[in-house]
Structure 1
Amino acid sequence: MDTKILLEQCQLVNFQKGKKITILGAGIAGLVAAYELERLGHEVEILEGSPRIGGRVWTHRFGNSPDAPYAELGAMRIPSEHEMTLHYVHEMGLSDKLCKFMTVFEESNAMMNINGQVLQMKDAPRVLQQTEGGIFSDTRYSEKTRLFAAWLKTIINTIAPGNLRSEFERDLQSHLMDELERLDLNPYFSEDGETIDLNSFLTQNPSFRAKCSQGLDIFLGDIITETSHDLLQLKGGMDQLIQRLAASITGEIKCNSEVVALRVQFDHVQITYKENGQLHTRRCDYVLCTIPFSVLRKMELSGFDDDKLDSIHNTVYCPGTKVAFHARESFWEKNGIKGGASFSGEGVRQTYYPSVKFNPERGSVMLASYTIGDDAQRMGMMSEQERFDYVQNTVSKIHPELNEPGMILDKASIAWGNYKWSAGGCTIHWDEADGSASYLKAQRPQNTLFFAGEHCSRFPAWLQGSIESAVEAVYDIVKHKPALQSTAIPVAVTVSGKNRQLAAVGSAW
């Protein structure tokens, strides 16, 4: 739904102003919801378990100066069609910061490591044909079909987690080559006939996706977005959106307030949270929970119906791991690389280069490794130092400059699958029987307990999903008619961590 229309509808149903809402989580969903609820005349308070705001928007800055280079350890791009995200970029006065994000396969000089052979990405499919043979040298199919298939495999190998790479291999061998042979592939090759426009191909040929396995079909839908030539970013860091939203909210944002129990009652929600080693329990008229289900399922939950508990415990999360290097200089530019991403091979997967300029006196930053799925899980199991060493060793095979003394000035990483406050990179629908319809179960409220976040949306893994679900939750809250006139949100109980029953709740962490 259009952002303006949805916000206008919130105004129309806002017949009972002055509600008091406790929001759990200070990620972008919680902040957007707080911002809109306050604009509608309601009172909000945000409890955030971690020491920081932003959730899975995390800009890591290598230095304290305003022009310090940075890496996005979380969300790093905005599709141009994600109008809800762009609405808040404009609303927060950040329109002048929007600029192009050069994504994977947009830089023809990017590198690829295939079984130890380092070459430019544009040459990879030809090499794949020569080294693998098999279906790629099967003369039953035209040269165009074989080259196109080799490009598809190159792209899938670069982006997809291991299980989907295997699914694509099976589908290709069994029937996808026949489907490619049937289609007119000429419009999707470049003028020199060596590269393809995957985005246009997938958009204009839904029949191809329909013949893929369900998980692969859903993933290819994600690739349409990820390989778009119209991706955007915020120059200066995505966390600018978080900071502007937080500054626009008058209600208190309390970090280090870890929720450990939610008890749904007929006309209120009782929450228990831990702060400074103390457990506090309070009664709340309305609660908006933006905590990922991967974290929520570890809490004490009562008063939830069975379908909701099933959604909470069975929503699938995909791990994601990122490793960034602060480099003395942007040495990759000497190879003509201005942005985009290389495929460094092994478990490192994608290596992204900045498509914004940093002050050369302060060096530059490469996102040396961005992995999802099984690759991310393996790296997440390493210690941080092991992870740094592994990534440096792997990426230096395509960029030996990394091993020059003093080239790497600093490093940063995050394994979202092991991060206490997310326990996953994002929700996925690739292996769910009912596909994306699961988000409808995730967003369904329990009396006066409402839900928002990317797991409650049609756009998992994107800011758009978190924002849209937040505005929809705002609509549901403001139109809700209380069964009984509730009081304010007083502190009901404050107990020490020695209370046997409540202390047992906290031990789940």
Structure 2
Amino acid sequence: MPLLPPKLKHMESPKKKIVACVGMSGLAGPPRLAPTTDPKTVIVVGAGMSGLVAALELERAGHHVQIVEARRRIGGRVHTQRARDGAPMAEAGAGRIPRSHRWTWDYIGQMGLATRPLYPAGLKNVALIDGKRWIIDSKTDLAATVDLPPEEKAMGYAGLIKTHVLDNVEKLLAAKVIDTPAWPPSALAHLDRLCIVDHLAAQGLSPAAIKLLTLGAFPTAISPLMLSRVLATYDRESLSVIEGGNDRLPAAIAAHLRGPILLNSPVRAVVQFADRIEIAVEGARPKAVLTADALICTIPFSVLGRVQFEPALNPAKQQILAEIRYTKATKVAFKMSARFWESEQLSGFAQLDTGAEIWSPRWSAGDGSGVLQFYQQGERAAELDAMDEPARAQWAMGHIEKAFPGAGRHVQESRSYSWQHDPWAGGAYGIPQPGDLFRWQGNIASPEGRIYFAGEHTSEYSAWIEGAVRSGHRAATELHEATFESHR
């Protein structure tokens, strides 16, 4: 996401104050389902956040649920990496929770979990642009860090962000379609025709200005409309993590479930009959067939094509499976003997112009130790994936050293994770690319008989825990309200 310095928080426009990316709708939390008088047996495929939320809400309503998960763990793409001593080290997957993602916060509250800010207070971030290191504070104008044409330099970074990013967010907020059936808005369809990089170029921006506006682990294939949708519900100044690791949220929800969770049990086939669903499961035990009244499928569309459906999924959904692209992301985390960067009043966070960021998860440690995590998105993640573990760590630390010189001397251990190499993910997240919002409208999450679909890829909140949570709740609601005959 764009690097928004503190001074942009209170930037004024002629119409109203733009508080960078805090527009919110749907302020109420997730509603509870009414108790059922017709309990159904349900199989949920996937023990990530969407599947766990769906199972929780269905059980609360009185249905009988079992979860089938391909991995040997729960959580899906909420995956906390831990050091050799078992302490949380870094988030391989979902790493930040905006305060504006209210449904996620509702479940955090329900589970009684504590949180803390992602960023340490009072410390400054770093930017690496064209190989040069810049320390970011309220006086920094990033427009001075690169060679911009005179008219762009005169606008300054604040003006570039306002004109080419935040003004589109304002237009979307004014349309009042977020979290409503009117999404995506046809009046703004022109913002969904090109990826953000091509859109900015078409607006006449120089390559140097485009680089500034897409710093960090930025999904450059995203359209301006989808980017505006993300930013409209993304409060960068109020990001948090769960104390002890974000994986405590899926673990807590799983602990509240009555039904079984079958791990290491990939689903190979789904057969739908007039009165039931049957799934073929493989795992540590011999191949098994499970039967239920209905099924909620949370498998990422990047890997769903491996599952055989009978009858086949409808042509519209098959087309989406063929077209959807998942963002590449690889992370390498280093446990550090000391948070030496704090002596320079630095937060340990940095954004690079190479599709990468550096994070400092900064789990509470009384001994002064810390963590630096290199987060690479895009095609360069594939470069990391081609390396063995030592080479990957060396490559990542080489980039960290440019932002935080001397970091290599403090490394105690490292962990890496590639979402492309995860056979049950096939990438980090499935975010719509230009034109997808309108091509896929009404089909990506539509039920097919007794099969319901959830997962962040089926939500307006693509790539976030919020998307998984909302989609799981939606699928549970659709199933709960269905009128098909229950299998006895």
Say yes or no: TM over 0.5: yes
Equivalent residue letter for 1:352: W
Q: Does 1:305 align with 2:314?
A: yes
Tell me if structure 2 keeps the 8 A contact 1:69–1:365.
no
The corresponding residue for 1:492 is none
In structure 2, the CA distance between the partners of 1:480 and 1:166, relative to structure 1 (3 Å rule), is: closer
Q: 1:351 aligns with which of 358, 364, 368?
A: 358
Q: Are 2:382 and 1:386 equivalent residues in the alignment?
A: no
2:417 to 414, 418, 424: 414
Partners of 1:56 and 1:74 within 8 A in 2: yes
CA–CA distance in structure 1, aligned partners of residues 317 and 152 of structure 2 = 51
Q: 1:384 to 1:145 in 2, by over 3 A?
A: same
Residue type matched to 1:222 in 2?
Answer: V
SS of the residue 1:310 aligns to: helix
CA distance in 2: counterparts of 1:75 and 1:258, whole angstroms: 23
- Residue 336 of structure 1 corresponds to 345
AA aligned opposite 1:300: Q
**Residue 247 (1) aligns with residue 271 (2):** no
The answer to whether the 8 Å contact 2:144/2:153 transfers is no
Could you tell me how far 1:108 is from its partner in structure 2? Answer: 6.8
Counterpart pick for 1:50 among 64, 68, 71: 71
SS for the counterpart of 2:406 is helix
Alpha-carbon distance between aligned partners in 2 of 1:358 and 1:153, rounded to the nearest angstrom: 42
Deviation of 1:219 (Å): 2.4
The residue that corresponds to 1:445 in the other structure is 447
User: In the alignment, residue 70 of structure 1 is paired with which amino acid?
Assistant: M
Cα shift at 1:213: 10
Q: Report how far residue 463 of structure 1 moved.
A: 1.0
Structure 1 position 328, deviation (Å): 0.8
Secondary structure of the corresponding residue to residue 440 of structure 2: helix
1:315 maps to a residue whose letter is I
C-alpha distance after superposition, 1:355-404 (max 9, x if no partner): 5532326x21112x112222333323333332211111121123232232
Tell me the distance in 1 between the aligned counterparts of 2:100 and 2:402: 37
**Corresponding position of 2:97:** 78
Partner in structure 1 of residue 400 of structure 2: 395
Cα deviations across residues 296-315 of structure 1 (Å, max 9, x unaligned)?
A: 11222221222222233323
Unpaired segments ≥5 residues, structure 1: 157-162, 178-194, 199-211, 488-509
Structure 2: how far apart are the matches of 1:113 and 1:323?
Answer: 18
| Cα distance between partner residues in 2 of 1:213 and 1:296 | 22
Q: Look up the match of 1:486.
A: 487
> Is the CA contact 1:124–1:154 (under 8 Å) kept in the aligned structure 2?
no
Q: Answer whether contact 1:26 1:53 (CA < 8 A) is retained.
A: yes
Pair 1:392–1:444, CA change in 2 (3 A) = same
What residue identity is the alignment partner of 2:280? T
Structure 1 residues 439 and 325, CA, compared in 2 at 3 Å: closer, same or farther? farther
Does 2:413 correspond to 1:373?
A: no
Larger Rg: 1
Secondary structure of residue in 2 paired with 1:435: helix
Which residue does 1:425 correspond to in 2?
A: 428
Q: Is the 8 A contact 1:216 1:430 kept in 2?
A: no
User: Aligned equivalents of 2:164 and 2:206: distance in 1?
Assistant: 18
Change (3 A) 1:73 1:436: farther
The residue correspondences of 1:41-190 to structure 2 (distance < 5 A) are: 41-64=62-85, 68-94=87-113, 97-102=114-119, 109-122=124-137, 123=140, 125-129=142-146, 132=147, 136-138=148-150, 141=151, 144-148=154-158, 166-167=197-198, 170-173=201-204
- Matching of residue 270 in structure 1 with residue 270 in structure 2: no
Shift of the 219–2 alpha-carbon distance from structure 1 to 2, 3 Å rule, reads closer
Q: How many residues align?
A: 426
Residues 383 and 337 of structure 1, relative CA distance in 2, 3 Å threshold: same
Query: Which SS does the other structure have where 1:329 is aligned?
Result: coil
CA distance in 1 between counterparts of 2:142 and 2:455 reads 39
What letter is aligned with 2:461? Answer: F
Structure 2 equivalent of residue 504 of structure 1: none
Q: Is the 8 A contact 2:149 2:206 kept in 1?
A: no
Q: Among residues 434, 457, 460, which one is paired with 2:459 in the alignment?
A: 457
More helix by share: 1
Distance of aligned partners of 1:456 and 1:439 in 2 relative to their CA distance in 1, 3 Å threshold: farther
Partner letter of residue 414 of structure 1? Y
In 2, distance between residues paired with 1:322 and 1:27? 19
Over 3 Å counting, the alpha-carbon distance change for 1:86 and 1:6 in structure 2 is closer
- Judged with a 3 Å threshold, the aligned counterparts in structure 2 of structure 1 residues 28 and 357 are, in CA distance, closer, same or farther, namely same
What is the distance in 2 between the residues matched to 1:289 and 1:472?
12
Give the SS at the match of 1:427. coil
Give how far 1:174 is off: 5.5
% identical equivalent positions: 26
Deviations 1:107-140 (A, max 9, x none): 77322333332232355725434xx2xxx232xx
Residue 277 (structure 1) shift:
5.9
Q: Please say if residues 44 and 297 of structure 2, whose CA atoms lie closer than 8 Å, have aligned partners that are also in contact.
A: yes
- Secondary structure at the counterpart of residue 403 of structure 2: coil
2:49 to 28, 33, 39: 28
C-alpha distance in structure 2 between counterparts of 1:98 and 1:408, whole Å? 27
The normalised TM-score by structure 2 is: 0.78
Letter in 1 for 2:384: M
In structure 2, how many angstroms separate the alpha carbons of the residues matched to 1:44 and 1:235? 29
Q: Compared with structure 1, are the counterparts of its residues 410 and 354 closer, same or farther at alpha carbon in structure 2 (3 Å cutoff)?
A: same
CA distance 1:342–1:225, shift in 2 (3 Å): farther
Find out whether 1:318 has 2:332 as its counterpart. no
Cα distance in structure 1, aligned partners of 2:132 and 2:126: 10
Mapped to 2, the partners of 1:167 and 1:373 lie a distance apart of: 16
Task: Report the CA distance between 1:428 and its aligned residue.
Answer: 0.9
Q: Deviations over 1:19-68 (max 9, x none)?
A: 11111111111111111111111111111101111000011121445xx3
Deviation string for 1:381-438 (max 9, x for gaps)?
333332211111121123232232xx2111111111221111111111133x142773
Alignment CA distance shift 1:323-1:175 (3 Å): closer
